[in-house]
Structure formats: structure tokens, C-alpha cells
């Protein structure tokens, strides 16, 4: 290992440890550990920052970039130089305050959500938003204060580009939604029967395994809000939640997080020596090329595969074996109709596929308003509830099913929500591309065999890790990155 790779590997080890502490905080840590956990994470991030800003690392990165003939190595050097520039703009004190506040805010959010009381979380969110504004100012921007925040998660996007895209998308979705709402609703009573959590977890573990998740390199645990987290491509963990009164939450949460995990596990091992180990900007040691590309893999698996009739032609018998009493009077066709129903609801992670993006657009507009100060944190519940009435025609009964339902803001992830919809657009673009270039993949998936599709995704997306940007990957898919045409066509074909 050369001197450059050795330094990057040490920083990578620090960041993997940060991720491990964050996983523990959300899965197993006792409630009273939040404050000290915040200090621990802040200390490790501070050490990583010091290592990133060591002038010797810049010299080594410049030398590596000049000497590298391999584009993967060159991209790795560029990523380090970008990370150095990013962290040079953010004061050490601000980084520490963010880490400490995130731990406290996460614990306060969980308490507030359980009590359905926004007032518990409000002072922490005010602090998070204040720190986000400081970060935006430190990074610098010519337009909206939201721009540098979203670019941490999705390089190239801005408040203006997202607003234009979302206006077009919303205008396309609402007529499809209105038409779908006018049709007779399928039977759904069986979705809400009692499903023992331990049986849900056992079934979902088998489902993840069937989809290619390698339990030799991962594990499935319980969390308040499902997530995937990676330390290396050899340790990629997923979580889900087991609502005893609503089975789809566990199933589709697990499929979604499995999609993330397959991306991580599918990176070419050679890339972990370079680009894949050096996303220091977002303080992640591993991952895909952007959050939007990452979400495209989870949303593709969740919706294009997991909600398809062909998938359940292979899986439904096993599902009924796991829950014989609950599904004794349910046919395969009734199950497929129920999980594809259009029934706008209050909760994003439980939303039907058609109304899902309206949940995302609501959150992005609120984030932008919080960042530019046009919305005060104290007024968030009222603004949220008004948007739900306008876009989905729903009245929000309490904070837990309203503005407290997502963990993202407590983690300081302001700017990440747009990536869910970018993921939906990208998933539809990928499937349209594969339908043209390899139509047999869809036929195999319709027989319940996802292996050929996963192999194609591995070649098209996963193996590259961060060695190609989302724009570079999109350029191979026959069209501009943020054109909703394919996605709206997919939605019209399924629900129109």
C-alpha cells in the first residue's frame, strides 16, 4: 500500500467506526447513552477532519492524481481533493456541534414520536436547522441556502432545478392519482390482521436471502425507522420494523433496504482501494455514487420487482406458509391487488407507489423554507398539515403521523429527501433501458427469477461504486438525468 492509500485507509477506518457507533445508537444503545455517544462521534469526526486537512494528504492526493493512469485511481484522488476543500470550509467547532446535536436530536425525536408531541423535538430541530444554515454559509452558495446542503447528497442539484422538476412531476402525478382514486378499491382487510413480529422478521430474512442478500456479510435487525448502513462491502447491515398490525411495512421495508445493501455488496472489490473508500465529504466510508442512485436501486427492487405479480407468483406460497391463519382466506391475486392499491395515507414509508412522491415533494419544500427562513420551526406542524390537505386531501390527526414520522432531520440530513424521488425517476429509466437492451430480464423477473436482473444491475451500476458519477451512469441510459418522462409513463401504464 502506498503512502496515499495508507492515509486514506486510516481515515476510512475512523469513518467506519463512526458508522458503527451510529448503527448501535439506532439499534441497541440504551436511551441514556445519547449524550455520551454524541461526544464519541464528535471526537472521531474531529480526528478524521484533522487527518483530511493534513497538508501532507493534499500533496499525496495531487501526486496520485498526476501519476494515476487508471481512471478509478484518478477519481479516488479527485474525491480526496474535493473532501479536503469541503472540510477546509467547515470550522472544526461546527462539525463537533453537528455531531453532538445529532445524537441528542435523535433521542429527542424518538421520544417525541412515541409521545406524538412536537414540542419535545422542536428545540433540537431549531438547533439542527441553525447548524445547517451555518454549514451552508460556510460552504458558500450563489443561489438558495438549500443548494450546498442538497449537493452533499446529490451533486449538481439545486433548489431551482429541484423545484422545476418537482413542479413538472406533481402536475403529471395528480391527474393519474385522481383517476385511480375513482376506481373500486381492492380488498385490504387482511393486511391489518395480527402478524407476530418475530415471525415477520424470520420471513423477511428469508425474503432478503432470496433477493441475493448475503448474511455472511450482513445482518437484519430492528429499528424505529428502517435503514441500511455499511462499514465495508464485507459488512453491510439492514434493519426493518415489525408492525404487528400491518404486514407490508416489514416486507417492503426489508426489500427496500435489501436494494441498498445489494448495491454496497456489489461494488467491484478493486474499487474499495480507491474511490469506494474515500467519500469523505459526507463522512461515509462506503456507498454508491450518490444518494439518488442509491435510492434508485432500493426503489427498483421494492416497486418494479417487489410489487410485481410475477414476484409473488414465486413468493406467495411461502408467505402463506409463514402466516397460515392470517392469510387462510386470501388469494395470490388479492394479495397483489392489495399491495398495489392506490390509497393515499399519512405515512411516507407506507405510502402507495403513486402518491409516494407527493410526500417527498412536501418535505423538500418544507426543507427549503426552513433553510431560507420563510418557515419557522415552530410553524412546521401547521405547514405540514396544510400541505397534506392540499396535496393528498388528508387531515393529520397527530404529530407522530405528521411532521415527526421521519428520522432524517434529527440526523441533520437536510437535503436528502429529494434523492428518494430522483431514485424513482432513475429506477424507471434503468428499467426502460433494460427492457430495450435485455428484454429477457423482465420475463425472468415475471417468473419470480430476479438473478438475471441483479446481474445486469451489477454490471450497469453496482460494480462502479463511486468511480462513475450519477450523470455518467445516466448518460448510458439514453436520456438526461432528471427527465420524468419514463417515470410518468411507468406510472400511467400501471395506474392510469
Q: Kindly provide the b/e burial profile for residues 407-424, where b requires at least 16 CB atoms within 10 angstroms of the residue's own CB.
A: bebbbbbbbbbbbbbbbb
DSSP designation for 232: E
Among the residues of 140-224, which ranges form H helices? 147-153, 159-181, 197-210
Q: Out of 257, 264, 302, 353, which one is annotated catalytic?
A: 257
Q: Which among 247, 224, 238 has a CA at the least distance from the CA of 322?
A: 247
Reported residue count of the chain is 496
Torsion, CA 321, CA 326, CA 329, CA 330, rounded to 10: -70
User: Please, which residues bridge with residue 228 across strands?
Assistant: 238
3-state SS of 291-309? HHHHHHHHHHHHHHHCCCH
Q: How far apart are CA 217 and CA 256, in angstroms?
A: 18
Q: Would residue 50 show up in a list of annotated catalytic residues for this protein?
A: no
Q: Any binding-site annotation on 144? A: no
Per DSSP, the three-state class of 355 is: coil
Rounded Cα distance, 44 and 80, in Å: 18
- Tell me the CA distances in angstroms from 291 to 158, 254, 272, 453, 462, one per residue in order: 15, 18, 18, 21, 13
Q: Is 295 annotated as a binding residue?
A: yes
Q: What are the binding residues for Zn(2+)?
A: 256, 260, 295
Residues known to be catalytic: 257
Q: What are the binding residues?
A: 256, 260, 295
Amino acid at each position: 500500500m502506498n503512502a496515499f492509500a495508507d492515509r486514506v485507509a486510516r481515515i476510512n477506518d475512523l469513518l467506519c467506526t463512526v458508522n458503527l457507533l451510529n448503527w448501535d445508537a439506532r439499534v441497541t444503545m440504551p436511551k441514556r447513552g445519547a449524550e455520551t455517544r454524541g461526544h464519541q462521534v464528535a471526537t472521531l469526526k474531529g480526528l478524521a477532519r484533522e487527518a483530511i486537512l493534513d497538508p501532507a494528504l493534499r500533496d499525496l492526493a495531487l501526486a496520485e492524481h498526476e501519476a494515476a493512469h487508471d481512471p478509478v485511481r484518478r477519481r479516488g484522488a479527485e474525491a480526496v481533493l474535493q473532501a479536503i476543500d469541503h472540510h477546509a470550509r467547515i470550522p472544526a467547532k461546527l462539525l463537533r456541534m453537528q455531531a453532538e446535536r445529532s445524537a441528542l436530536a435523535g433521542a429527542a425525536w424518538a421520544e417525541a414520536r412515541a409521545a406524538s408531541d412536537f414540542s419535545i423535538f422542536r428545540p433540537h430541530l431549531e438547533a439542527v436547522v441553525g447548524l445547517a444554515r451555518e454549514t451552508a454559509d460556510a460552504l458558500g452558495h450563489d443561489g438558495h441556502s438549500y443548494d450546498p446542503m442538497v449537493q452533499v447528497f446529490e451533486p449538481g442539484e439545486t433548489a431551482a432545478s429541484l423545484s422545476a422538476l418537482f413542479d413538472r412531476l406533481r402536475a403529471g402525478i395528480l391527474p393519474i392519482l385522481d383517476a385511480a382514486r375513482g376506481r373500486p378499491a381492492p380488498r385490504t382487510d387482511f393486511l391489518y390482521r395480527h402478524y407476530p413480529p418475530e415471525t415477520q422478521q424470520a420471513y423477511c430474512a428469508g425474503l432478503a436471502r432470496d433477493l441475493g442478500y448475503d448474511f455472511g456479510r450482513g445482518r437484519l435487525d430492528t429499528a424505529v425507522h428502517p435503514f441500511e448502513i455499511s462499514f465495508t462491502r464485507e459488512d453491510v447491515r439492514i434493519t426493518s420494523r415489525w408492525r404487528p398490525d400491518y404486514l407490508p411495512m416489514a416486507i417492503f421495508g426489508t426489500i427496500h433496504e435489501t436494494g441498498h445493501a445489494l448495491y454496497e455488496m456489489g461494488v467491484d472489490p478493486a474499487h474499495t482501494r480507491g474511490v469506494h473508500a474515500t467519500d469523505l465529504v459526507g463522512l461515509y466510508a462506503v456507498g454508491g455514487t450518490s444518494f439518488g442512485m442509491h435510492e434508485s436501486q432500493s426503489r427498483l427492487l421494492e416497486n418494479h420487482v417487489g410489487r410485481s405479480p410475477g414476484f409473488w407468483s414465486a413468493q406467495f406460497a411461502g408467505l402463506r406458509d409463514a402466516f397460515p391463519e392470517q392469510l387462510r382466506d386470501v388469494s395470490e391475486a388479492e394479495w397483489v391487488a392489495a399491495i398495489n392499491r392506490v390509497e393515499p395515507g399519512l405515512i411516507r414509508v407506507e405510502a402507495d407507489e403513486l402518491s409516494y412522491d407527493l410526500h417527498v415533494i412536501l418535505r423538500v419544500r418544507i426543507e427549503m423554507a426552513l433553510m431560507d427562513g420563510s418557515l419557522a420551526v415552530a410553524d412546521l406542524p401547521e405547514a405540514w398539515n396544510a400541505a397534506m390537505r392540499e396535496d393528498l386531501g388528508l387531515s393529520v390527526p397527530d404529530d407522530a403521523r405528521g411532521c415527526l414520522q421521519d428520522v432524517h432531520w434529527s440526523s441533520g440530513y437536510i437535503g436528502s429527501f429529494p434523492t428518494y424521488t430522483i431514485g424513482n425517476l432513475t429506477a424507471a429509466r434503468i428499467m426502460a433501458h433494460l427492457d430495450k437492451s435485455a428484454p429477457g430480464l423482465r420475463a425472468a423477473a415475471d417468473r419470480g427469477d430476479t438473478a438475471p436482473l441483479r446481474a445486469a444491475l451489477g454490471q450497469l451500476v453496482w460494480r462502479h461504486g463511486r468511480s462513475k458519477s450519477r450523470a455518467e451512469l445516466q448518460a448510458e441510459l439514453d436520456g438526461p438525468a432528471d427527465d420524468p418522462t419514463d417515470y410518468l409513463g411507468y406510472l400511467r401504464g400501471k395506474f392510469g
